[in-house]
């Protein structure tokens, strides 16, 4: 088992390096010089040279990359062009806010997805099954940024029940579970949960009905087990597949929250990225994307290891 | 299934094989035509596409003509069935014209990515060994980003614009398509009929074009068709963020973006463009599902 974890970890390392390369390249992909954004238009050639040397832009690209990677590993993601603050000190609170939102969305998405998927898998072919499939397809197809707007129109503009934007008391670092905080998180979390709920419901339905067709389920019934106990066995067998999909969804949520955060003015990574794009604050853009994608890589690693612990058959593949 | 098994077997003479494979496609179309949901979706999509193509003849008003006096008129206003937007432009005409860019931005990346990703995947799957390693590890790196994040990152760095939006979406869709292409090609490569073709002295290129492609194109296309709906939603999402299509062009995502400010004054107008994105994406999803079950491809 340790060997498997080690091998999986070694496999992740080159991917993490590749991800860092892509993030490094982002700044150089951008039109114009990376330093043109921080200098006035009429800067003298001498000043340009000085700034280039100061930021290390006069060195060849591979050297620049290693220099940058060294800084990143020691926790220095550069300085924001707009605020002049360290990128990390801007990114960390934003990641925290995104995680709060993603965690709530994951909770809703997983509970709804697993519940509906199991019901549909146990009643395949029935009207219930068709209703769940319809919900799942809708969840997968709906543009969630638009769904967010529709929810705002319904619950904030028309009914006036819930606030449309912001974090409320959640943002001020107070106790996270005040009524005000909950009110602010309901709409964005529900919006963000729709896609994973749909995808999970779909795959749980497929997995459960697949497992139920296997011979051992017939044997369990023949042994005289009640359906409640058979369900435990079915759940155990369906768990690894479902877990893998859920892990992937959790990680996708972090990236997908950009659009939802924009709709609800939620001060997370999406909000930060949006601001960085319009002010052409490339260090912030680069730093946020690096942190999020490394998070994504690590989540995938954790899911793989967890899946192996639950189902030793995975190891042999 | 028996039709499929026939196309997989290399022992059947050429004439019989083509006849059989034609009947496979006939079976697919027969099954599709008996699937009412898929046919309804196909009809809706066809209508949306035709309306977009013939927009100049169908749209009742000029989609770019602004007017300060008739801003944000509600739907049902005489002459402006679906109301007007925040600059007084006719919503219906803009929705009709918007289909052109939105469909183009959703469809093109999948087509290009299917070509590039499919080629990479087939090469990696057929060549195996080091070439496979090199291609697939590179793909894995891009696969390590959440898709929306990668699209936003690339077009955010490149800046707004239709071409930059397309480039970022193509890069997002190459990895998943290459992965599917690689895995089906690897499966086909180990089949007996490939071995038989090799034994008759056929070259690598001949085997790939003559035997491998015909067996992997179906699954790849089915997978690609399921990406169109994702692509339309993400492409509109980019425009919604202010990346991708820029004003004053008509695009559903961009319309959502600019109308978002008016959500308290004219909520119905503000959410209308999303209805179009949702309908299109939903129909593509259902059609892809219908196609998948008609071709009986698993996965």
- Within a domain: B70: no
Mark which residues 168-207 of A lie under 8 Å from B by CB: none
Confidence at residue B11, expressed as pLDDT on a 0 to 100 scale: 46
Collect all residues of chain B within an 8 Å Cβ-Cβ radius of residue A300: 144
Contact A146 B271 (CB under 8 A): yes
Residues of A in contact with B141 (CB under 8 A): 15, 18-19, 21-22
Q: How many domains is chain B built from?
A: 1
User: Is residue B139 a part of any domain in this protein?
Assistant: yes
Q: What average pLDDT is seen over chain B? A: 83
What is the four-CA torsion angle of B64, B70, B75, B81, rounded to 10 degrees?
-60
Domain CATH for B207: 1.10.3720.10
Best probe of the B interface among A36, A146, A205, A255, by most B CBs < 10 A, is A146
Bond preceding residue B248 cis, omega within 30 of 0 = yes
Q: List chain B residues with CB under 8 Å of A14.
A: 137
Which chain B positions have a beta carbon within 8 Å of A130's beta carbon?
none
Residue A26 and residue B150: Cβ atoms within 8 Å?
Answer: no
- Are A141 and B274 in contact (CB < 8 Å)? no
pLDDT of residue A241 exceeding 80, the answer is no
> Average pLDDT of A99-127?
86
Alpha-carbon span B251 to B110, nearest angstrom: 18
Pairs across A and B, CB distance < 8 A: 138
Give yes or no for A32 touching B (CB within 8 A).
no
What domains appear along chain A, each with residue ranges and CATH number? Answer: 87-316 (1.10.3720.10)
Please choose, from the candidates A245, A301, A257, A246, the residue with its C-alpha nearest in 3D space to the C-alpha of residue A99: A257
| Residue given tokens 């220095």 in the structure block | A76
Asked if B144 lies within 8 A of A300 by C-beta distance, the reply is yes
On whether residue B66 sits in a domain, the answer given is: no
Say if residues B189 and B138 touch (Cβ distance below 8 Å).
no
Measure the CA–CA gap between B232 and B235, rounded to whole angstroms.
Answer: 5
Among partner residues B147, B149, B263, which is closest to A289 by beta-carbon distance? B149
Q: What is the pLDDT of residues B91-149, one digit of tens each?
A: 888 888 888 989 999 899 999 999 999 999 999 998 888 998 899 888 988 888 888 88
Is a pLDDT exceeding 80 seen at residue A174? no
Instruction: Check if A45 contacts B (Cβ < 8 Å).
Output: no
Q: Which member of B149, B154, B264 has the closest CB to residue A157?
A: B264
Rounded to whole angstroms, how far apart are CA atoms B147 and A199? 15
Which tokens sit at B228?
């169109």
Range of the domain at B153: 15-59+89-294
Is B100 among the domain residues?
yes
Is the residue at B2 inside a domain? no
Q: Residue A143: closest CA among chain B residues belongs to which residue?
A: B233
Interface of B with A in 273-292 (CB under 8 A): 273-274, 277-278, 281-282, 284-286, 289
Contact by Cβ (8 Å): B67, B90: no
Q: Given a cut of 70, is residue B155 above it in pLDDT?
A: yes
Best-predicted range by mean pLDDT (A303-307, B4-8, B46-50): B46-50
Query: What are the residues whose beta carbons fall under 8 Å from the beta carbon of A12, sequence distance 6 or more?
Result: A297, A298, A300, A301
Hey, which of A48-52, A80-84, A189-193, B295-299 has the most confident mean pLDDT? A189-193
Contact A160/B at CB under 8 A: no
- Identify the closest residue of chain A to B278 by CA–CA distance: A142
pLDDT band for position B3 (50/70/90)?
very low
Residues of chain B neighbouring A258 (CB-CB closer than 8 A): 148-149, 152, 241
Average pLDDT, chain A: 80
Q: By C-alpha distance, which of A280, A273, A114, A256 is closest to A189?
A: A256
- For the stretch B25-63, pLDDT in tens is 788 888 888 888 889 999 999 999 999 998 888 878 888
- Secondary structure of residue B47 in the 3-state scheme: helix
Q: Please write the tens of the pLDDT for every residue from A202-240.
A: 888 888 887 877 788 888 888 877 777 778 887 777 777
Backbone angles phi, psi at A93, to 5 degrees: -60, -35
Q: Give just the sign of the alpha carbon dihedral A67, A73, A74, A79.
A: positive
User: What is the C-alpha to C-alpha distance for residues A134 and A144, in angstroms, rounded to an integer?
Assistant: 17
Q: Do B186 and B128 touch, CB atoms closer than 8 A?
A: yes
CB contact under 8 A, B144 and A141: no
Tell whether B239 lies on the interface with A, counting CB pairs under 8 A. no
Interface of A with B in 10-29 (CB under 8 A): 14-16, 18-19, 21-23, 26-27, 29
Q: In this complex, do B158 and A142 lie within 8 Å of one another by their Cβ atoms? A: no
Quick one: which of A191, A193, A214, A211 has its CA closest to A203? A211
Rounded CA separation B151/B10 (Å): 42
- Cβ(A184)–Cβ(A170) under 8 Å? yes
Mean predicted confidence (pLDDT) in B228-249: 87
Query: Long-range contacts for B54-60 (Cβ within 8 Å, ≥24 apart)?
Result: B55/B96, B55/B97, B55/B99, B55/B100, B58/B96, B59/B90, B59/B92, B59/B93, B59/B96, B59/B97, B60/B90, B60/B92, B60/B93
Q: What is the pLDDT of residue B114?
A: 95
B152 and A273 in contact by Cβ < 8 A?
yes
Chain B residues near residue A302 by CB distance under 8 angstroms: none
Q: Is B260 on the interface with A (CB under 8 A)?
A: yes
CB contact under 8 A, B147 and A252: yes
- Contact predicate A272/A287, CB 8 Å: no
What is the arithmetic mean of pLDDT over B7-35?
62
- Here the tokens at position B197 are 């073709």
Query: What percentage of chain B has pLDDT greater than the value 70?
Result: 91
Q: Tell which residue, B127, B234, B123, B253, has the closest CA to residue B172.
A: B234
CA distance B139 to B117: 9
B141 touches chain A (CB under 8 A): yes
């Amino acid at each position: 088992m340790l060997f498997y974890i080690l091998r999986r970890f070694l496999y992740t390392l080159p991917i993490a390096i590749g991800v860092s390369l892509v993030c490094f390249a982002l700044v150089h992909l951008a039109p114009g010089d990376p330093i043109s954004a921080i200098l006035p238009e009429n800067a003298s050639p001498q000043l340009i040279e000085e700034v280039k040397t100061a930021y290390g832009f006069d060195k060849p690209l591979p050297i620049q990359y290693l220099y940058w990677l060294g800084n990143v590993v020691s926790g220095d993601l550069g300085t924001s062009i707009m605020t002049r603050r360290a990128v990390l000190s801007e990114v960390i609170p934003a990641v925290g806010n995104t995680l709060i939102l993603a965690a709530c969305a994951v909770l809703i998405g997983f509970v709804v997805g697993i519940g509906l998927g199991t019901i549909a898998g146990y009643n395949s072919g029935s009207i219930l099954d068709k209703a769940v499939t319809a919900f799942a397809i809708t969840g997968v197809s709906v543009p969630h940024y638009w769904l967010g707007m529709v929810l705002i129109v319904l619950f904030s503009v028309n009914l006036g029940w819930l606030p449309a934007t912001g974090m409320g008391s959640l943002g001020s670092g107070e106790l996270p579970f005040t009524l005000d905080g909950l009110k602010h998180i309901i709409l964005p979390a529900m919006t963000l949960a729709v896609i994973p709920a749909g995808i999970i419901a779909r795959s749980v339905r497929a997995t459960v009905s697949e497992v139920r067709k296997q011979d051992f389920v017939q044997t369990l019934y023949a042994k005289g087990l009640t359906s409640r106990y058979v369900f435990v066995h079915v759940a155990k067998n369906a768990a690894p597949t479902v877990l893998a999909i859920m892990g992937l969804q959790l990680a996708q949520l972090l990236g997908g929250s950009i659009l939802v955060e924009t709709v609800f003015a939620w001060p997370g990574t999406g909000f930060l990225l949006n601001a960085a794009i319009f002010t052409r604050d490339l260090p912030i853009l680069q730093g946020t994307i690096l942190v999020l994608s490394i998070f994504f890589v690590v989540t995938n690693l954790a899911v793989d290891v967890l899946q192996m612990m639950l189902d030793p058959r995975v190891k042999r593949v | 299934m028996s039709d499929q098994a026939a196309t997989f077997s290399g022992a059947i003479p050429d004439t019989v094989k083509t006849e059989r494979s034609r009947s496979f496609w006939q079976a697919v179309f027969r099954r599709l035509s008996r699937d009412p949901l898929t046919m309804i979706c196909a009809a809706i999509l066809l209508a949306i596409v035709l309306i977009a193509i013939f927009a100049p003849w169908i749209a009742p008003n000029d989609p770019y003509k602004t007017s300060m006096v008739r801003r944000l008129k509600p739907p049902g206003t005489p002459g402006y069935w679906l109301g007007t937007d925040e600059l007084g432009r006719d919503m219906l005409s803009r929705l009709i014209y918007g289909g052109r860019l939105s469909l183009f931005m959703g469809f093109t990346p999948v087509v290009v990515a299917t070509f590039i990703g499919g080629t990479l995947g087939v090469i990696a799957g057929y060549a195996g060994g080091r070439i496979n390693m090199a291609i697939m590890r590179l793909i894995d790196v891009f696969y390590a980003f959440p898709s929306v994040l990668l699209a936003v990152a690339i077009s955010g760095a490149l800046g707004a614009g239709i071409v930059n939006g397309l480039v970022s979406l193509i890069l997002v869709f190459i990895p998943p398509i290459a992965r599917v292409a690689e895995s089906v090609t690897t499966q086909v490569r180990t089949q007996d009929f490939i071995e038989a073709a090799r034994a008759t002295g056929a070259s690598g290129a001949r085997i790939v074009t003559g035997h491998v492609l015909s067996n992997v194109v179906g699954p790849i296309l089915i997978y690609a068709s399921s990406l169109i709906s994702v692509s339309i939603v993400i492409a509109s999402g980019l425009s919604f963020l202010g990346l991708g299509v820029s004003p004053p062009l008509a695009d559903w995502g961009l319309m959502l973006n600019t109308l978002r400010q008016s959500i308290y004054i004219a909520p119905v107008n503000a959410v209308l463009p999303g209805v179009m994105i949702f309908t299109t994406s939903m129909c593509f999803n259902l059609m892809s599902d219908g196609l998948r079950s008609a071709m009986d491809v698993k996965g």
